[in-house]
Amino acid sequence: MSYSEIAVSSRDGVTLIKLNRPEKLNAYTPVMGEELVAALREAAADEAIHAVIVTGEGDAFCAGADLDYLKGKTTEAGIRLGEEEFIASFTEELAQLPILTIAAINGAAAGIGITGVLAFDIRIAANDAKLVLNFAELGIVPGMGSSYFLPRLLGEAKARELLLCTRRFSGAEAAELGLVNHAVPAAGVLALAEQLANAAAGCKPGMINAIKRALAHGAVSSLAEAVAMEKQLSEEK
């Protein structure tokens, strides 16, 4: 499949997806969303792929939603922002992809540039990346499971602070808060993502999916239910 707003390549079992609108700081559009869904599904369906990395082309990761689409612009197919699958219905599928998903936040990220990767397994940010959850400023209720993920990652108090006060913060602070797993110099973000993706290559077939299922179930279950799921998944193997 050919893409206009992302670039996709694969090597050694890892698919690399780059948000590819550097002249717009990789601002998100419905077209980008539809292309992300297609590329992520393609990677997940390929038995040769065990991990996918999403990063940004140029110095930014994703500067939030493109302002033209926030003002009501539609795609050639007539789709408005929020009607595309990535925002409207893909979050649960994204969280359940049977491969390792890594967001390499190489620079500035705002709005959906952050919430769009909350369902990823691992997030890495540049130390000096400028981040903001600016939904309140824009008059938009944050989506993509933000109300589920953010309190679990940050605690409810910090989630309220970042969302309601539109506080700007750095990639380094994001790591301190627990929003991202690691913060490193910008030049090393993709390298660390690739290192982690390559480390997962040693997993036996199906184990990434099984472990992700166990962790997701355990996060919302009792101890007894978690143990029962672990037993079930072990028997399935």
Per-residue pLDDT tens, the chain, 237 aa: give them: 789 999 999 999 999 999 999 999 999 999 999 999 999 999 999 999 999 999 999 999 999 999 999 999 999 888 999 999 999 999 999 999 999 999 999 999 999 999 999 999 999 999 999 999 999 999 999 999 999 999 999 999 999 999 999 999 999 999 999 999 999 999 999 999 999 999 999 888 889 999 999 999 999 899 999 999 999 998 886
Torsion of CA 95, 96, 102, 104, to 10 degrees: -30
Please name the CATH architecture into which domain 6-201 falls: Alpha-Beta Complex (3.90)
**pTM score of the predicted model:** 0.95
Q: Which of 79, 81, 140, 131 is nearest to 103 (CA)?
A: 131
Q: Which of 196, 194, 193, 189 is nearest to 127 (CA)?
A: 189
Distance of alpha carbon 87 from alpha carbon 25, whole angstroms: 19
Distance of alpha carbon 18 from alpha carbon 22, whole angstroms: 10
Q: What is the pLDDT of residue 237?
A: 67
